[in-house]
Structure 1
Amino acid sequence: METARFAALIAATITMGLVSGLFYGFSVAVMPGLRASGDRTVVETMQRINVAILNGWFLLGYLGALVFTALALALHLAAGGGRGALVPLIGAFVAYVLAMLVTGRVNIPLNNALAQAGPVDRIADPGAVRRAFEGPWVRANVGRTVLCTVAFGLLVWALALHG
């Protein structure tokens, strides 16, 4: 049981770090880089990214962070708390669920609207499509980046308490 708890906690920390880093990369590099680009470039690039990101490696990190954090929490609860790691585990789980809610309620609908705009060369007003997408998407991404970073930090804390 101890090995399973520790393995779940390590897997949760790694996958949370991957997701946090992905969102951070968009916050500090991808979206600032696109900010200086033309409207058609931004729309087309984000349309392509939104298709490319739907792959097994992304899902392993994104869903793995939820599953492994929940598993680590459940195993620590079953063992009676696990030397103080329970509080940061609960915090990490809550922070990540909130990040997933932001993703599901803001980022995914914006991605879907961008896809529904159609091929960029057929969009009559790519500036309007960009304005409807970029600002809200960036703000939501910053929020989920902060939430995932908090969750990652809490998982690191839980690892330190566990060890």
Structure 2
Amino acid sequence: MTRSRTVSPSSPPLPAAAPPGRGRARARGWALGSAALAMGLIAGFFYAYACSVMIGLARVDDRTFIDTMQWINATVRNQWFAPSFFGALLLTAVAVLLHLGRDARAVLVWSAAALLLYGAAFSVTMGVNVPLNEDLAAAGDPAALGDPAAVRAAFEDRWVTWNTVRALASTAALVCLLRALVLHGRAAAAAARNR
């Protein structure tokens, strides 16, 4: 036999969800802040390519373009890049998990939206940009290429287009995380006033 949750007009209202403890609230804030920092770094990374690097490289000859992109791709996987690229995904997922529950629905919606948006940017990187980088590396020494224009043509426009997509998606994810941080801050301030 199950108990009904129906509230009659004379019944007292159902209690609201209990506010999270201070430790949990701090963990939530830390996760959101760290996720926003990592997301800002990686969104800025993609943005820098979109608004400067690729525009500048569009003006160089084919062999210089290929050589430069090969060197960038060979050195980008480093200790400075990894924390933002992988950290944005991991920390946003942690923020989502910490906000599961009735007491943080508004923050959960925004942090989940950020996770979906950055998941799309991450997928574009792994599914489009990285394979293009690998194809460019496999082309070999630009000085020895018989048709560097064809190698560049197979890479440049597609890479630039999808970089713009991931820049927009990660920037939108950052906006969502910042909104989640604002909502978290308001909830924390309200909880502090009620103590």
TM range (shorter): over 0.9
Contact 1:83–1:162 (Cα < 8 Å) also in 2: no
- Quote the residue 1:27 is aligned against: 50
Specify the SS of the correspondent of 1:45: helix
- Quote the residue 2:133 is aligned against: 111
- Quote the residue 1:56 is aligned against: 79
- Quote the residue 1:75 is aligned against: 98
Structure with higher Rg: it is: 2
Counterpart Cα distance in 1 of 2:102 and 2:37? 24
- Quote the residue 2:180 is aligned against: 158
- Quote the residue 2:61 is aligned against: 38
4+ runs deviating over 6 angstroms = none
Q: TM-score, normalised by structure 1?
A: 0.97
- Quote the residue 2:118 is aligned against: 96
Rate the CA distance shift 1:130–1:50 in 2: closer, same or farther, 3 A.
same
Task: Compute the displacement of 1:2 (Å).
Answer: 1.2
- Quote the residue 1:129 is aligned against: 151
The structure that is helix-richer by fraction is 1
Specify the SS of the correspondent of 1:54: coil
Matched, 1:4 2:52: no
The structure whose RCO (Cα within 8 Å, separation 6+) is larger is 1
RMSD: 1.0
- Size of the alignment, in residue pairs? 162
Specify the SS of the correspondent of 2:99: helix
Counterpart Cα distance in 2 of 1:75 and 1:25? 32
1:35-94, Cα deviation, whole Å (9 max, x unpaired): 0100011100000000111101101000000000000000011x5352621111111000
Counterpart Cα distance in 1 of 2:159 and 2:103? 38
Percent identity (aligned): 44
Structure 1: unaligned runs, 5 residues or longer: none
1:13-34, Cα deviation, whole Å (9 max, x unpaired): 0000000000000000000000
Counterpart Cα distance in 2 of 1:9 and 1:51? 32
Counterpart Cα distance in 1 of 2:151 and 2:177? 38
Counterpart Cα distance in 1 of 2:112 and 2:28? 14
Specify the SS of the correspondent of 1:84: helix
1:98-118, Cα deviation, whole Å (9 max, x unpaired): 111111111001000000001
Specify the SS of the correspondent of 1:124: coil
